[in-house]
Copies of this chain bind each other. A is one copy, B any other.
Amino acid sequence: MSKRKKMEKLSIVKIGGNIIEDDASLAAFLKLFSNLEGKKILVHGGGKRATAMATKLGITSKIVNGRRITNAETLEVITMVYGGLVNKNLVAKLQALQIDAIGLTGADVNSITSKKRSIKEIDYGFVGDVKEVASNSIDTLIQADFTPVFCAITHDGKGQLLNTNADTIASQIAVGMSKIYKTSVYYCFELNGVLKDFNDKKSVIKRIHFENYQQLLKEGIITDGMIPKLDNCFDALNKGVHKVHIGNTAMFTEENELFTTIIL
């Protein structure tokens, strides 16, 4: 029996703004998440709410190439909304479902250190690219039966918080934890999975592995925003993650089989 087979499972679930924004969707998801067996970690974004709060405060945040330019004021809003409002309400709601949640940024227990993105063509501001995941510290929390809830904030270890993409945080945590666990990542978004035909919501590609991915790219079936997402998935798989799943929250119900699984 290989070492991997003996490893305990760990699920890393990432939810986006569409679930967080809607009270009913969020309640339904949290119930499913609380029933998910085994050790688990939740990762969340919260983009729309941060944008709304920034607008209320008269702060305009530019978005270039799909990434928010994070000036000092925008970072404050992100810290308030992601690290405070969204994260702590998720924790309180999970506690009500008997999940002993603990809300974290990458600064807490020094869990995720990142490096401020260097200025090339664009100055992204206070944006951090993940440098290191403190898998042992995160595991200390998991071993104590706490369920970590990460927001999309990291730190540079020198006192500076940094904004980091939530998808990246999920995959980097998974990579880091795959030394200790058999890790699966679940990306929850609004669609049923990766679609063959964008106009047919049921045309889910159930399994993507490296060979058919090349074919799907060549045929132009996978395009645009899905390419970096899938590249990111394969990168995580190459670094030890066991499986990546993409779909909506229904993938946590037993009946549903309409989601995409990505394997090497």
The chain A residues found within 8 Å of chain B, CB to CB, are 53, 56-57, 76, 79-85, 87-89, 91-93, 95-96, 100-105, 107-110, 137, 140, 144, 146, 153, 155, 157-161
Give me 29 A-to-B residue pairs in the complex whose CB atoms sit less than 8 angstroms apart, sorted by A's number: A56-B57, A79-B85, A79-B89, A80-B84, A83-B83, A83-B88, A84-B87, A88-B105, A89-B161, A91-B105, A91-B108, A92-B159, A92-B161, A93-B159, A95-B110, A95-B155, A95-B157, A95-B159, A96-B157, A96-B158, A96-B159, A101-B108, A102-B102, A102-B104, A103-B105, A103-B107, A137-B146, A140-B144, A144-B144
**From DSSP, what is the main secondary structure of chain A's interface residues?**
helix
Kindly report which residue of chain B lies nearest to residue A153, judged by CB atoms: B88
In Å, the complex CA distance between A155 and B146 comes to 17
Kindly report which residue of chain B lies nearest to residue A90, judged by CB atoms: B107
In Å, the complex CA distance between A90 and B93 comes to 25
Copies of the polypeptide in the assembly: 2
Other-chain residue from B91, B102, B103, B107 in contact with A95 (beta carbon distance below 8 A):
B107
In Å, the complex CA distance between A102 and B91 comes to 15
Min CB distance A243 to B, Å, is 29
CB distance A88 to B159 under 8 Å? no
